[in-house]
Structure 1
C-alpha cells in the first residue's frame, strides 16, 4: 500500500528519471571499468563508488552499461537521474523513492515498506521517513545497487545535505554509485570512509578502446592514432569524431584529425564553458595562450590579479585543466587539454580580433623574464611578430644556445617565415645555433646575408661582437685558425658586453684555439669564460669551459689533467638539472674515457665512452658521433666481432674532419691507432696509405718517422726500422709529441732486447716509462707490440724504481688467465731465476746444483711457479711464461 503523499511524489517523477537509459550509438566494451564498479557489490569496506569527471567522459553511458550487466547477474538496481528540480529536498526524496519502488518490483515486502513511506521535511516526520527508508532498504536484499547520475546538480543546495544524509544511513548491504562533475560532494562523501573512486583518468579511453570504437569504420590506423593523441583519450572527442565519420566520408581535418571543429566547439561551449563563472572563464582563457600556465603568467596575460585561487579550483573540478608540476621557485604549473586549448583560442578571437595577438605577446614577454625563453620564442613565432622574435632572441638567445637548445631554436626558426626571423639579431642568433649544431654551411650562409640594418651605435657594438662569435664557431667547425678574425672593436670593450655574450666570446675563442693546438691562448680564454660563467651562475658555459680545458690538456699530452678537467665538467653538468648540452656531455665523457684508457683503467674508460656515444647520438652531430665511435673502437678493438669492418671504416675515411687542424698529439694518437687496426687484420697497404695521408697533417718530421719505424718493425723489417729510429733517438731539434717519445724509446727497448743487450733495453724502457709517467699516456708504452714490450718489462721488473708500479700495471694487462688473487710480480726472485732455468734441457738435479739449492727446494719453487701461472707441467709453464714475456 502506498500512501497518498508517496503516491503523488512517485507519480510526479518522470519515468525517464528512474529508468536505466538505453545507450545510443556504438558501445565499446570496457571490462576493466565494469570490474571496478562491481567490486563494491560484495565488499563490506567500501559500499560507495564515486565517478568524478567533467562532461564528456562517458559517466552516464558507463553506468547504463554496467546497470544492464548487473541486472543480468541478479543485482537489484535502482536508477535515479537527478536534475535541477532535485535541488528541492522534497523532489529529491521523491525521485529516490520512485527509483527504489521500480527496483523493488517483485519483492512484495520491500514494495509494501516503500509504499508506506511519507516524504516530509518536517523534522519529526522526516526522521520517521528516514527510519522507514532504512528498513525498506534492508528488505531489498544483499545485492542491491542504487545509482545516482548528475549529483553535482545538488551542490550548494538544500538537497546536498540530504544526499549526504542518505549516504550515512544507507545499510552496508546496499551499494551506492553516484556520478558527479564536482569535487564538493567528493569531500563530503570521504567523511564516511566508505567510498571508492573512478576519476577522469580511469574513464579516459585506452588506445585499444579507441581502436575498437572505429573498428567498423573505413579509417586507417594513422587517423585513429592522430585523433587519440589529440583527444588524449577524452571519450567525448572520440565519440563526436565517430559520429562525424558516420555522417561523412571520414576525411581528416588538419588540426583535429577526424573531429568536426564546429561540432567540437559547440559541445565544449555547451558542456564545459557555459558552466564556468566569469572569473573562471577569464582565467581559463589565459590558459589557452600557453600549453603550460602558472598564476603569475595568467595574471600577466589576463586581467585578473588572483589567478592562483581560480587555477587551483579549476584543476580540482575540471580535468580540462590539470596540475602537472611545481618548479624550483615554488610556482605551480597547470596544463590545458589540447583540444580545449584550441577552443579557448577561438573564444579569445571572438572577444576581439587583436586579443589573441596581444595576450600572446604579453605571455612571450613574461617568459623572457620569468619563464622559458624557448616558449617565448615559440609564442612570438606563433603570431608572426618579427619585432617580438628579435626581442626574444636578443635577450634570451645566448642562454638558449649555451644551455643546449640550439637544435630547438633551429627547428622553430625553420617553421617560421623568413621575414619573421630576418632581424639583424635574429639572423645572427639562428646562425650561431646552426654553428652550435654543426651545420656549418647554414651558419656561413646566414652570416653572408645578414646586415645590421637600422641599428644605433650601441646595438651595432653588440651586433659586431655577436657576428664575431658566430665566425669563431664556424672557424672551430672547419678547424681553421682565428688569427685573421676580428670584431672590429678592441678587446677592452668586451667589458661593456652583456655577460652572456662576453662569456660566449671567450669560450668560442678558447675552443677554436684548442682545436688548432694553441694551448696557452686557449687556456687563457677558457679560464676567462669560466670565471664569467661562475659570476653569472651559467653552469652550461662552465661545463663547456671545463671541457675545453680538458681538450687543451689532451692536446698537450697531459692525461691526468685532462681527466681532472673532464670529470669537473661532468660534475658541473650534474648540478645543472639536465640543462647541459648533450654535445658538452659527449665531449666530457669522451675525454674522460680516453684519459682513463691511457691511464690503464679500462673499466672506467668503457663506461665513459659508452656514455659519450649515447649523448652524441642524441644530438645527431656527425662529427662528434664519429669521434666518439672511433674512441670506443680504439679501446674495444680486440673484442670487436667484426674487426675488418671497423678497420676499413676508420682507415678509408682517415683523416676524419675532427683531425683537420687538430694538435699533433691528437693526430699522432689516431695515426698509431689506425696502423694498429690495419696490421691486426693483415692489411699492410692500409697502414702505408695512412702514413702517406699523415704527411699532409704532420709533415715528415719526427712524429711521422716514429710511426714509419713502428710500421716497418711490425711488418718484419727490423733492420730498416732501426735505421730510421736510431737517429731519431739522438735528435735534439725538431718538433715532436710526447707520445712519439714514449713509443720510440719503447721500440728501442724492444730492439735492444731482441739483440740480447739487456742493459740497453732496460735503459731505453726506463726512458719510455719515465715519459709515460710524466704525461699519463701509459698505454703508449706497449704501442710497439704487447708481447714484445712485456718481455722487456718482465725482464726488468723490480728494477724500474718509481716506475715499477707502471710496469706491473702494463704486464697485468696481458695476463687475464692468471688467478685473480695472484697479482703480477708475485713470483719471488728465486722463482723468476728458476723460471729462466726451466727453459733449458737441464734436469732438476743439475739445476739444483747450479743454484746451490736442494732438489726438494727446487721442486717447491716449481710448484709455486705452476700455481701462479695456472699450469700443471714444466712445458706448460715455459709456454705460458713466453706468452707473458716473463722469459
Structure 2
C-alpha cells in the first residue's frame, strides 16, 4: 500500500471548503439590482461613511431592502470589495473563514500562501486569524468586506474572531454587516470611539416620496398623499411596497387597490400565498411547492422533482416577474427565505406525505451529480437510511468520520438512523460512529455484522464497503494492540483496492492515510520499528492537504516516538513539532488519542531538564475514554510522566506512572522495557542497586536502554566489570543516538574514575559532553551523581560544559576561575530559585520569603531543596557562601 502514498503533497485546493465541497461562486456575487430598483441617494450617502469607520451595520427586517441598498452602494466604489453571502457559512467558524478568504481572492486581494485555510468546519486556529489581520493591516488601501445575511451566523466564536481580525487589521479593512439581528460584537466600543456607521430599520423605511417613485417604476401612478397612507400602512417595508406594486398591476383599479391595502393582514403568509403563489398557473404553483424543500436549485434538479422538462423556462419567467425566485448565477436559483418558509408550510398542509418523496428524488439526483453533502442531507430528510449510508460508503468517504473535518456533522446526521436500516453499509456507518464516539465493543459488533452480511451478498460492487471495513479493522487493531489483525486488514485492503473504481481513492486520500497510520502504529507497538516506518513515512507524506492533515500529524508523532526511543532527541523534536504544525496549519482539532507529538516533546524536555515545560506539555494531552486508549500514545504518556516524576525525586509516583493505562492483545517490548527502566531507576535512587540490576536482566529482547541502565546499576553495586561487560554486548549496528550513547559513556567514565584511571574517565566524559551538547541533553549528567563535580571543575571539561550544562565560569568583566575553586553547578538554578537565593542572602526567614514572593511556605521549602541540591550543600549559610563563590549573587 505504501506505493500509493509517494506523491508529493498537493497544495490546499482553492475551490474546496473545509468539508471538501466546492465553493459556491454565487456566494461571492454582488446581487444584481432589478429593473424596478429605486436608488436612494440619502442612504448611499450615509453609507459613504463606511470608508471612514471600521464597522458598518445595515440592520433591518426581512424585505427591508438592505442587500440591494449595499449592492447599489458597492457598484459605485473604486475600492476592492469582498462580498460574501453568509447563508450556509454559519455552520461553523471554519466554513465562514474559508469562504471569507476565498471572497478576498475573488475581489483581487491575494492572501500569502502561508496563511493557510481552515480544515475543520467547527474551529479556526488563532494563528490563522493573526496572519489574516497582519496582512490586511499592512495594506495601503482598505478592502471593503461585506457580509450579507449575517444574521444567519449565530456562533459567538465567529463574532469574537471577526472582532479580533477587525481590531488588528486597523485601517486595512472596512467591515459591512448586512443583518436582521444585532450582531454579537462590542458595538458600544465602536460607537464610543466613533468607529461605527449604522443604518437601521427606521432609516431603511421608504418615505412617501420614495414609495411614489418606486410605484412609478412599476408603471403605477399614485399621489404623494396616497403614497403616504400606503407607507403608513406598510410602515415603509420595502418588500411590502413591492408586493403591493406587483399585486396592483393585476388589478383593474390599481390606485384603489393600493389605497385599500391593509398592512395588518392576518399574516404575511396570506398575502404571499394570495398575491404571489395563487396568481401563478397550477403547474407553476406545484413546482414552487415542490422546490421549497431545496436550499438552491437548477433546472435539471427541478425537473427531477416535478417530472417535467420545462423548469428552465419557468424559473427564468419567475425571476423576470420578480416572483421571489432569486437568480444566483451559473443557472442556479433560490427562493426568497420568507417565501420558502411559507411554501413549506403550505406543502405540509396540501400534500403531507410528499416531502419525503421530494427529498429522496433530490438525493438521487444530487448523488448522480456528485454532491455528497447535499445527497446525505436529503437522504436523511427522506428517512431512507440505507440509501444514505450506501452513498457515504460507496463514495469511500467513511474516513471523514475520523479526520476532524466533517466528523461531528456526519455523526449528528446519522444519529437519526434507526435499527430498520439493515444493509451492510448501514452497519459500517454504525460501526464507524461508535468507534469515533469511543465505544469499542458496540463498534466491533456492528463491524462484525457488516462483514458477515457482505460475505453473504453477491450482487453489486462491494469493493468500497470491504475497503471501509479494512479501515475499521485496522483501527480496532491499533486500539487493541493486535499486530496480526492489523496485517490482515492491510492485506484485505491491498486485495480490494484493485477493484475500487478509478479515481475514487484519489478523491479520498484520507482513507489510505488513516489505514497506513493505524498499521504503522500497531507495528510500532509490537516493536517492529523498521516495518512501522515503512507504513508511517508514506502516511506522513500523504497528499490531500486538509483532508489528510490529521493522519499526517499522527504518523509524524509516531515517527518522532521511534526517534526518541532510539535516543535521537533532535530528530524526535523536529518530527514532533511537524506533527503539531501539520494539524495546526489547517485548524484541525486532534482527538485525545492523537497527542503523541506533544508527549514526545514532553519526554525530550525532561531529558533536557526543562521540567516545567514538560509538565505543561503533558497537561495538554487529555486521556481518552478507557476502551479507546491508543496503546502507543499511552505508553508515550507513561514514559514522559514517569521520567518527569523521577527527575523531581518522586520515585514511588514514577513507578506507579510507568505502566501504560491500557490493555493490549500483545505486550510491547519497548513499553515493558521502559516500565522496567523506571522501576529499576527508582530502586537505584533508593539505594538498592542489586534489585535494580536484577529487574533489568529479566527484560526480554535486545534493548540498548535496558543494557545501559543495568550497567549503571552494576556499577552502583560495586561490580564495574559486569557493568563494562554489559555495555560491550551492545551491537555496533544498534540504532543509538545521544539519548542512549551519552548514558553509556558516563557509565564507562565512572568505571574508569573508580578504577583510578582519570585520563580514561576524562576522555569518556569529554566525548559524552560533546555528544550531549548538540542535543542539550542534561538529564544523564544530573542523574550521574557527585563523582562528576571534580572532573567538571577542571579545564577542558569545564569549557565543554559551560553555557548549557553549567553556568559560565567567567562572568562579564570577571576573571577565570582558579583550579582550587569549587566545581561549577551542574544544573542551572531556575528563576524562582534565584529569587529565593537572593532573599536567603538577606537573612530572611522562610516565612518572610514566602510573604515577600506571595507564595506558600511549602513552595519556598520546595525551592530551597532545589537550591541545596544544585549547589551541593545542606545548609542556608553554605548555600549563600557557595553562590557567592560561583558569582551567582
TM-score by length of 2: 0.51
Per-residue CA deviations over 1:371-429 (Å, capped at 9, x if unaligned) read 56498268437614313321223315334135225565455545421232x32233234
Aligned equivalents of 1:383, 1:837: Cα separation in 2: 78
Match of 1:527 in 2: 537
Q: Pick from 590, 594, 599: which aligns with 2:599? A: 590
Q: Deviations over 1:339-360 (max 9, x none)?
A: 9969936725733623333325
Q: CA deviation at 1:558?
A: 2.9
**Shift in alpha-carbon separation, 1:490–1:705, aligned structure 2, 3 A:** closer
Aligned-residue offset at 1:651: 0.7
The answer on 1:383 being equivalent to 2:392 is: no
Query: Equivalent residue of 2:817, what SS?
Result: helix
Q: Does 389-398 or 176-185 show the bigger shift?
A: 176-185
Secondary structure of 1:459's aligned partner: coil
Alpha-carbon RMSD? 6.5
1:654 and 2:659 aligned: yes
Structure 1 pair 372–509 and aligned structure 2 pair: CA distance change class (3 A) = same
Structure 1 residue 434, shift from structure 2 partner: 4.0
Q: Which residue of 1 aligns with 2:476?
A: 474
The aligned residue for residue 88 of structure 2 is none
Task: Give 1:728's aligned residue.
Answer: 726
Give the CA deviation at 1:444.
Answer: 2.5
The residue matched to 2:599 in structure 1 has which SS? helix
Matches for 1:281-680 after TM superposition, within 5 Å: 289=293, 344=344, 347-348=347-348, 350-351=350-351, 353-360=353-360, 362-363=362-363, 366=366, 373=373, 376=376, 379-380=379-380, 383-404=383-404, 405-406=406-407, 409-410=410-411, 412-420=413-421, 422-436=422-436, 438-450=438-450, 451-452=453-454, 455-456=457-458, 459-482=461-484, 485=488, 491=494, 494-497=497-500, 498-499=504-505, 500=508, 501-530=511-540, 533-534=543-544, 538-576=548-586, 578-579=587-588, 581-582=590-591, 586-595=595-604, 598=607, 611-613=620-622, 633=641, 648=653, 651=656, 654-657=659-662, 668=673
Residues 313, 600 of structure 1: alpha-carbon distance in 2 compared, 3 angstrom cutoff: farther
When Rg is computed on C-alpha atoms for both structures, the one with the higher figure is 1
Cα displacement (A) at 1:474:
1.4
| Deviation sequence 1:136-172 (CA, Å, 0-9, x none) | xxxxxxxxx9999999998954699999968999xxx
Distance 1:384 1:835 in 2: 85
Query: Alpha carbons of 1:875 and 1:523: their partners in 2 closer, same or farther (altered >3 Å)?
Result: closer
Quick check: 1:596–1:605 contact (8 Å CA) kept in 2? yes
For the 8 Å contact 2:792–2:798, the answer to whether it is kept is: no
Residues 374, 183 of structure 1: alpha-carbon distance in 2 compared, 3 angstrom cutoff = closer
1:748, 1:764 within 8 Å by CA — same for their partners in 2?
yes
Matches within 5 A, 1:832-851: 832-836=818-822
Q: What is the match of residue 780 of structure 2?
A: 781
Post-superposition offset of 1:809: 1.9
C-alpha displacement of 1:481: 1.6
Specify whether residues 549 and 432 from structure 1 end up closer, same or farther in structure 2 by C-alpha distance, changes over 3 A only: farther
How far apart are the structure 2 equivalents of 1:464 and 1:740? 44
Give runs of aligned pairs for residues 120-131 of structure 1, distance below 5 A.
none
CA contact (8 A) 1:546 1:568 kept: yes
Cα distance in 1 for partners of 2:513, 2:411 equals 22
Higher-RCO chain (CA-CA 8 Å, sequence separation at least 6):
2
SS in 2 for 1:533: coil
For the residues of structure 1 that align with 2:342 and 2:680, how far apart are their CA atoms? 62
Please give the TM-score of this superposition, normalised by the length of structure 1: 0.51
Check conservation: 2:471, 2:514, Cα contact below 8 A: yes
Q: How many residues align?
A: 600
CA contact (8 A) 1:746 1:768 kept: yes
Relative distance call for 1:53 and 1:445 in structure 2 (3 A) is same
C-alpha offsets along residues 107-159 of structure 1, whole Å, 9 cap, x if unaligned? xxxxxxxxxxxxxxxxxxxxxxxxxxxxxxxxxxxxxx999999999895469
Q: Residues of 2 paired with 1:598 and 1:486: CA distance? A: 37
CA distance in 2 between counterparts of 1:311 and 1:764 reads 89
Q: CA deviation at 1:731?
A: 2.8
C-alpha deviations, 1:80-117, integer Å up to 9, x for none?
xxxxxxxxxxxxxxxxxxxxxxxxxxxxxxxxxxxxxx
Once the two structures are TM-superposed, the CA of residue 452 in structure 1 deviates from its matched residue by 0.4
Give the distance between the partners of 1:697 and 1:342, measured in 2 at CA: 74
Does the C-alpha gap of structure 1 residues 878 and 297 become closer, same or farther in structure 2, counting only changes over 3 Å?
farther
Structure 2 unaligned residues grouped into runs of 5+: 1-56, 65-201, 243-265, 826-870
Q: Which among 864, 874, 883 is matched to residue 880 of structure 1?
A: 883
1:742–1:771 CA contact under 8 A, matched in 2: yes
- The answer (yes or no) to whether the contact 2:289–2:346 under 8 Å persists in 1 is no
1:847-876 CA distance string (max 9 Å, x none): xxxxxxxxxxxxxxxxxxxxxx9x9x9965
The answer to whether the Cα contact below 8 Å between 2:641 and 2:658 also exists between their aligned partners in 1 is no
Distance 1:777 1:432 in 2: 44
Q: Which residue of 1 aligns with 2:238?
A: 182
Deviation at 1:833, TM superposition (A): 1.8
Counterpart contact for 1:511–1:548, Cα < 8 Å: yes
Measured in 2, the distance between the counterparts of 1:639 and 1:731 equals 28
Q: What is the distance in 1 between the residues matched to 2:594 and 2:333?
A: 30
**Who is 1:16 aligned against?**
none
Against the structure 1 CA distance between its residues 759 and 556, is the aligned structure 2 distance closer, same or farther, given a 3 Å change threshold? same
1:307 and 1:554 map into 2 onto residues whose CA distance is 68
**Residue number in structure 2 paired with 1:23:** none
Q: Which residue of 1 aligns with 2:251?
A: none
Residue pair 2:471, 2:489 contacting (<8 A) in 1 also: no
Are the counterparts in 2 of residues 294 and 334 from structure 1 also a CA contact under 8 Å? Answer: no
Helix, strand or coil: the match of 2:235? strand
